[in-house]
Amino acid sequence: MSQLGMLIIVSAPSGTGKNAVIKELIKKDTNIFYSVSATTRDPRNKEENGVNYFFVSRDEFEKMIINKQLIEWDEFVNNYYGTPKKFIEDMTKKGKDVILEITVEGAVNVKEMWPEAVMIYLLPPSMDELKKRITNRNTECVDSINERMKSAGSELHYVNDYEYVVVNDNLAYAVDQVLEIVHAERLKTIRNKNIVNKLIRRKK
């Protein structure tokens, strides 16, 4: 049997630019697939259902929880966000790596279920720059910007739960750093037991 694909968890304060990093990452490494989350928040300008998120009502989301269709879920700035289970199971069984872009709480929950998941925290170069990025993208009202900044401050205390930190100052450099992490993680002995076992069997 081939090795299971790995889960790559990326968290970052809202506005750090994780979407841009993930988009580039997926272009550069075709074995990585993006896990599209379900959310009750409204779509932003160019967001598409099924591509950026599955946009659902609160009722639909609560049904997904009851039917155990999510591997984790969380509430963020008055909306639900959750990771569909089936996609992750199907892809990892095929040896594909799946990237999850989720809150710190969601990340800790996934890590409990999948101890071999790789946890990467993406940092903004500064809190001033973060506020500038959230404000400049023109997608949030003032209340939401303030809530997101508040949440960014408290999320930073969880960085120690992550195995890696990458500062997103320069997009190309941040993408390369994440790729280096992924490539090194793929070489871990624990992920390559089948290769070793095959050699051991042949030797006998």
Contact positions vs ligand 5GP (CB under 6 A): 14, 37, 41, 72, 74, 76, 81-83, 101-103, 106
CB nearer ligand 5GP, residue 14 or residue 177: 14
Could you tell me the smallest distance in angstroms from the CB atom of residue 21 to ligand 5GP? 12
Could you tell me the smallest distance in angstroms from the CB atom of residue 116 to ligand 5GP? 19
Report how far apart the first and last C-alpha atoms of the chain are (Å, whole number).
20
Q: Quick one: tokens of 117?
A: 């998941």
CB nearer ligand 5GP, residue 132 or residue 188: 132
Could you tell me the smallest distance in angstroms from the CB atom of residue 179 to ligand 5GP? 20
Could you tell me the smallest distance in angstroms from the CB atom of residue 169 to ligand 5GP? 19
Q: What is the C-alpha to C-alpha distance for residues 95 and 85, in angstroms, rounded to an integer?
A: 16
Q: Is the dihedral of CA 146, 43, 73, 180 positive or negative?
A: negative
Could you tell me the smallest distance in angstroms from the CB atom of residue 197 to ligand 5GP? 35
CB nearer ligand 5GP, residue 2 or residue 45: 45
CB nearer ligand 5GP, residue 136 or residue 189: 136
CB nearer ligand 5GP, residue 3 or residue 146: 146
Could you tell me the smallest distance in angstroms from the CB atom of residue 202 to ligand 5GP? 43
CB count in 10 Å sphere of residue 112: 10
193 alpha carbon, distance to own chain's centre: 26
The CB-nearest residue to ligand 5GP is 106
Sequence length of the chain is 204
CB nearer ligand 5GP, residue 58 or residue 198: 58
Q: What is the C-alpha to C-alpha distance for residues 35 and 97, in angstroms, rounded to an integer?
A: 10
DSSP string for residues in 129-191 = HHHHHHHHTT-S-HHHHHHHHHHHHHHGGGGGGSSEEEE-SSHHHHHHHHHHHHHHHHT-GGG
141 touches 111 (CB < 8 A): no
